[in-house]
Structure 1
Amino acid sequence: MQQILNVYDGAAARLSRQDWLLATLARLVFAAVLAVYFLNSGVTKLGDGAIGVLTPSAGAYIQIFPQAFANAGYDTSALGLFHHVVVIAGIAAEFLLPVLIVAGLFTRFAAFGMIGFVALQSTTDIFGHGRYDALGRWFDRIPDAAILDQRSLWLLLLVTLLIKGAGPLSLDKLLVMMRRR
């Protein structure tokens, strides 16, 4: 039994030294699973023309402020400056933060921003859109509820990037190497 435990301890020690692998895989999984989701979601919010991010579509307001937009008669001009700033910031975040994570640039800041974004997105889905059916439950036999199950896995991935950073194959690592010279 002692020999088995020694082998196990040795393998565990070697795996514990592989932080680079966890960080790199977290970015790869983010790129494969979530980056395109967020980028496509951002595209649905763009207005017309080259400055579409500054002139969001009506869909952006419906997605981000469903109740306020309905109360304004679906007229964007009836909403206040606060609503416009939040929508523009949300669109910018949906494009910028995933790109930063995939590139491995300012990864910890981007992961922190994405954590806030996912929390706000989930709150809007539940309370703004009334998607109580998508909430789901933890510790049940159904592992695919859109909010509690899926988004908790998203958050685990983002917390991993927040704590571990981007890994060695990243612009963050390149910046560290350049500063050390």
Structure 2
Amino acid sequence: MTILSAATSLHVRLFGWLEHQLEPWFLGLSARLIFSSVLLFYFLNSALTKVGDGPLGLFSPSIGAYAQIVPPVAEAAGYDTSQIAFLPWGVIVLAGTLAEFILPILILIGLATRLAAIAFIGFIAVMTFVDIQFHGVEAETIGHLFDNVHNSAILDQRLLWLMPLLLLIIKGPGTLSVDHFLARWRRPETG
């Protein structure tokens, strides 16, 4: 056996063993925890800026919610929510506000994870469109692919946000998730 084939064999065995040990739980858990550690409070705090007054404020978004999510509509209505049509604008703002509360928590606990990750990618796409189209961010903030700048607030950061979500869609949330426990509860092991 040559040195190269011995090294290749060792490499295959070592990383095959590592993959076998970590596959069921590590990737899903780490993707959920990394995404949540970076973005859970970012989105929850953002959602809190959108709720109306009182105990049902979650279902009555503030003018701040309209200004953040559909700025031209809020401006056209003179920042008076009573002048904004519920269909479609109120529904859009309510859905966006609820999504900021619900989706990060679903990702963290691993419940309906694949659907939550798909919805979150859609949310990030809409958020990016609104930021670029209506909030007047400059080209430097938007960024470019394969450029020399590594910290644009839109393209660079949000592409990194997408990676754990894509991993969750493809690989699932892992065995340490509510999804896994619910699946086991629905299908008790026979043996």
TM range (shorter): over 0.9
Query: How many angstroms apart in 1 are the aligned matches of 2:133 and 2:17?
Result: 46
1:32 to 34, 37, 59: 37
1:67 partnered with 2:67: no
Identity %: 46
Query: How many angstroms apart in 2 are the aligned matches of 1:96 and 1:27?
Result: 14
Q: Which structure would you say has the larger Rg?
A: 2
CA deviation map 1:25-81 (0-9, x unaligned): 001112211111111110010111001112111110110011121122222222222
User: 1:28 corresponds to which letter in structure 2?
Assistant: L
State the 1:16 CA deviation: 3.5
2:161 to 119, 136, 154: 154
| Corresponding residue of 2:123 | 117
State the 1:14 CA deviation: 2.7
Q: Give the number of equivalent residue pairs.
A: 181
| Corresponding residue of 2:135 | 129
Retained in 1: the 8 A contact 2:62–2:81?
A: no
| Corresponding residue of 1:5 | 8
2:96 to 76, 90, 94: 90
* Root mean square deviation of aligned Cα: 1.3
Unpaired segments of 5 or more residues in structure 2? none
Superposition TM-score, scaled by structure 1 size: 0.95
4+ residue runs over 6 A deviation = none
Unpaired segments of 5 or more residues in structure 1? none
1:163 partnered with 2:163: no
CA deviation map 1:119-148 (0-9, x unaligned): 110111001112133211121221111111
